């Protein structure tokens, strides 16, 4: 993947994707955006990958836009800027729409596009001293490209506050508004939290996870009417007839691990 982005896939199917531009606080430039977009597409298509972890090296998760990239964009015409923004939008969309469950670990600052990347993850964990912000308006800009994902996470009311003021806010606030799900005491606790969450995710089979992610996307913000009720009934009927469901239910009643669950360490006999 190149030095600015590191990728490893563990034996259990967890892809570990690491932003590696600590000298510029892991800020986005056109190359990093392209590499992230390619990585998300490749990992989503790889049947051996069951979950994706995104994290960063250095003091900060991602400070948003790289300064040199911003300077270059300032000289672009409207069409060049539109194409540039579409590339960022495509990368965020690929991450947001992945069929695999995704987890982000945040230390230090997650600003602008960095906070947008956090919003695209299924699950986000942050250190308590992490900082967040949507500072675009203070530069005469607007958080347009990240807005669909951020507003879906934090809602209109919080977006009005934090988009319009451009204020930095702490991890407690990010947790309260739904941008992150869990907080840990120190950076050293992030990987322990990730191990626990990924362990829970891997207790479910890939097909059920993909269908459930699609279910959330289909159902959110829709009225509970006969069409939605019929659609959800059809989804569960199809899932009940699946090979995964037959195996999962059989394993439950036979008090054994389902085929997709890795054998636990000695002393851990929980099915989940």
Q: Which residues are catalytic?
A: 136
Q: Report the alpha-carbon distance of residue 222 to residue 224 in Å, rounded.
A: 6
Burial of 264 (0-12, 13-18, 19+ CB in 10 A): middle
Which two three-digit tokens encode residue 161? 């506050």
How many other CB atoms are there within 10 angstroms of residue 95's CB atom? 27
Q: Report the alpha-carbon distance of residue 255 to residue 23 in Å, rounded.
A: 51
Which two three-digit tokens encode residue 134? 């949507």
Inter-residue contact 126 to 183 (CB < 8 Å): yes
SS3 205: coil
In the 3-class helix/strand/coil scheme, how is 240-270 assigned residue by residue? HCCHHHHHHHHHHHCCCCCCCCCCCCCCCCC
Q: Report the alpha-carbon distance of residue 18 to residue 236 in Å, rounded.
A: 36
SS3 122: coil
Phi/psi at 23 (nearest 5 deg)? -65, -20
Burial of 51 (0-12, 13-18, 19+ CB in 10 A): buried
How many other CB atoms are there within 10 angstroms of residue 142's CB atom? 12
């Amino acid at each position: 993947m190149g030095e600015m982005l590191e990728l490893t896939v563990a034996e259990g199917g967890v892809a570990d994707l690491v932003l590696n531009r600590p000298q510029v606080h892991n800020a986005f430039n056109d190359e990093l955006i392209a590499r992230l977009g390619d990585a998300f597409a490749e990992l989503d298509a790889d049947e051996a990958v069951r979950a994706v972890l995104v994290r960063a090296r250095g003091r900060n998760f991602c400070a948003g836009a790289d300064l040199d990239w911003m300077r270059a964009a300032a000289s672009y015409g409207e069409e060049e800027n539109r194409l540039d923004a579409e590339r960022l939008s495509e990368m965020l969309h690929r991450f947001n729409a992945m069929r695999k469950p995704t987890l982000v670990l945040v230390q230090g600052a997650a600003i602008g596009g960095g906070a947008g990347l956090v919003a695209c993850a299924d699950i986000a964990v942050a250190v308590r001293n992490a900082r967040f912000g949507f500072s675009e308006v203070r530069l005469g800009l607007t958080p347009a490209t990240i807005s669909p994902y951020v507003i879906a996470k934090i809602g209109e009311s919080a977006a009005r506050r934090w988009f319009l003021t451009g204020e930095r806010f702490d991890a407690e606030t990010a947790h309260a508004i739904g941008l992150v799900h869990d907080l840990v005491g120190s950076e050293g606790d992030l990987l322990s939290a990730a191990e626990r969450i990924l362990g829970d995710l891997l207790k479910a089979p890939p097909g059920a996870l993909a269908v459930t992610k699609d279910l959330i996307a289909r159902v959110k913000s829709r009225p509970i009417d006969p069409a939605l009720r019929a659609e959800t009934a059809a989804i569960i009927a199809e899932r009940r007839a699946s090979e995964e469901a037959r195996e999962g239910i059989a394993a439950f009643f036979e008090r054994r691990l389902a085929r997709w669950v890795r054998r636990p360490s000695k002393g851990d006999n929980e099915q989940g």
